[in-house]
Chain A
């Protein structure tokens, strides 16, 4: 019951992060094992970079999910969870940016304009989230917050 409550809380509080994490993990895993790869990526990048892109996508998503789940189920690991989520968001930013850069070389911007815009928006959203987490972590480091009571302050 308590676990269900926490899952519900996670879904309600972080729907964007959860959705993007699950989606990117589900679409990145086949890329990583080489089962499926987007035509754009295959056409524009050499195999090593294709793999790098897959690692970035899947790893980023895995880190985001790990961060979210760890701090949801273990509140004592709040900072660690935030750190994992932030690093995952940075990797996802990279993956989205790479896809957005590569896309116009496969099809013209007129054809792929919407996808391009979505990728840029997702990339920006991931950057914004990473920045927000950084601010939270900085606030947690602030002695006035952290120390509700150290004798010095």
Chain B
């Protein structure tokens, strides 16, 4: 099988690139591990302030959560009041419309009565004119 000229070059490049990145990865990991160890050693000195800082943060977080809960409660109350107000407004409007309808019904009854009277009057006039034709 003929070997191309560039194939060994490509393979060399790949292998050296891979080896380089692998060594870099090991060195980075080693450095990170060493830093972590140093941090762990430094920890006892910081532990008290860390503890207090953590407690303080927890209290702050709790206070914030309480504030948020209170704000949410206020929002809900305001919404409920608004809804109540709207509901009252609707009740009032319904009441008004019902009163209006009742008045209109009364007016209709009154007008119906008058129309009945007028019809009766017309019938009487017709009957009278039939009995006594003009001329």
Is A72 part of the binding interface, using a Cβ–Cβ cutoff of 8 Å? Answer: no
Q: Does B127 contact A (CB under 8 A)?
A: no
* Shortest Cβ gap from B23 to chain A (Å): 7
Given A43-B1, A79-B32, A106-B1: A149 and B18 within 8 A (CB)?
no
CB distance from B28 to the nearest CB of A (A): 7
Does residue B4 face the partner (Cβ distance < 8 Å to A)?
Answer: yes
Q: Is A22 close to B, CB under 8 A?
A: no
Known: A53-B11, A83-B30. A91 touches B50 (CB 8 A): no
CB pair B11–A49 under 8 Å, yes or no, is yes
On whether the beta carbons of A49 and B12 are closer than 8 Å, the reply is yes
Q: Which of A43, A49, A87, A106 is the one whose CB lies under 8 Å from B22?
A: A87
Main secondary structure of the interface of B (DSSP, over half): helix
- Chain A interface, DSSP helix/strand/loop, else mixed: helix
Instruction: Give the residue of B4, B18, B25, B32 whose beta carbon is less than 8 angstroms from that of A94.
Output: B18
Does B115 count as interface, using CB distance less than 8 angstroms?
no
B25 touches A87 (CB 8 A): yes
Contact: B17 with A44, CB < 8 Å? no
Q: A56 CA to B15 CA in the complex, in Å?
A: 7
The reply to whether A88 and B46 form a contact with Cβ atoms under 8 Å apart is no
CB distance from B108 to the nearest CB of A (A): 78
Q: Contact residues of A with B, CB < 8 Å?
A: 43-46, 49, 52-53, 56, 59-60, 63, 77, 79-80, 82-84, 86-88, 90-91, 93-95, 97-98, 101-102, 105-106, 130, 137, 140-141, 146, 149-151
Give me 14 other A-B pairs in contact (C-beta within 8 A), A149-B53, A151-B50 excluded: A43-B3, A44-B7, A49-B11, A52-B11, A60-B22, A80-B33, A86-B29, A87-B21, A87-B25, A94-B15, A98-B15, A137-B29, A150-B46, A150-B50
